[in-house]
Chains A and B, each alone.
Chain A
Amino acid sequence: ILNVEQSPQSLHVQEGDSTNFTCSFPSSNFYALHWYRWETAKSPEALFVMTLNGDEKKKGRISATLNTKEGYSYLYIKGSQPEDSATYLCASTSGTYKYIFGTGTRLKVLA
């Protein structure tokens, strides 16, 4: 099973800062790349599903891009707020198994 890797594992930013995370995934047999937001004691909630090379999606202050040829996706948060504090997961379809998840980037926004 090929891995989906996310970086950094965790980061702390000040309120108002912009930040970004990386998701690396196998570029062969690619079908879709998902981003989820996961708050403590809750279940993951979908942010974006992207399928096409060059896809860009935006929801409020959060946006994501996709490069399927080189196997990476970026998630951007503009003007981080304390309520953005969560773990951000990406998942890619890869090989036989559905939705291989990365281990997540844990974001803490300091007020």
Chain B
Amino acid sequence: NAGVTQTPKFQVLKTGQSMTLQCAQDMNHNSMYWYRQDPGMGLRLIYYSASEGTTDKGEVPNGYNVSRLNKREFSLRLESAAPSQTSVYFCASEARVDSPLHFGNGTRLTVT
């Protein structure tokens, strides 16, 4: 009963490098989300996917791309990492619009 699983837990990148953050949920949820959390800023939505095959931009999408590979998986890609992308990233899923979000354990990313 894993819930929402994110990998990796920690990552250090150099400016300009690329990487993909992986997220998978085993609860058969339709909607999935990527948030970033910065001190004093709260959780800010990067991208979301309301259902398999659809993705939409959130509040802070610049510098990121996403893929909803199937119903279970929703990945976040940084094509050319920048120091401003240093943050803690959370993936979340929900069953329907009036149900709570289920969060993964987060990925702490540092870009030097």
Query: Counting CB contacts under 8 A, is A103 at the interface?
Result: yes
Q: Is the interface of A mostly helix, strand, loop or mixed?
A: strand
Query: Counting CB contacts under 8 A, is A109 at the interface?
Result: no
Nearest chain B residue, comparing its CB with the CB of A9: B40
Query: Counting CB contacts under 8 A, is A18 at the interface?
Result: no
Nearest chain A residue, comparing its CB with the CB of B45: A97
Query: Counting CB contacts under 8 A, is A98 at the interface?
Result: yes
Query: Counting CB contacts under 8 A, is B7 at the interface?
Result: no
Contact of B42 with A103 in the complex, beta carbons under 8 Å: yes
Contact of A43 with B42 in the complex, beta carbons under 8 Å: no
Contact of B98 with A32 in the complex, beta carbons under 8 Å: yes
Asked if A99 meets B42 with Cβ closer than 8 Å, knowing A1-B59, A43-B90, A43-B106, the reply is no
Asked if A99 meets B41 with Cβ closer than 8 Å, knowing A1-B59, A43-B90, the reply is no
Contact of B97 with A31 in the complex, beta carbons under 8 Å: yes
8 contacts between A and B (CB under 8 A): A1-B59, A34-B100, A46-B101, A89-B42, A97-B45, A98-B48, A99-B45, A101-B42
Residues of B within 8 A of A (CB): 31, 33, 35, 40-45, 48, 58-59, 90, 97-106
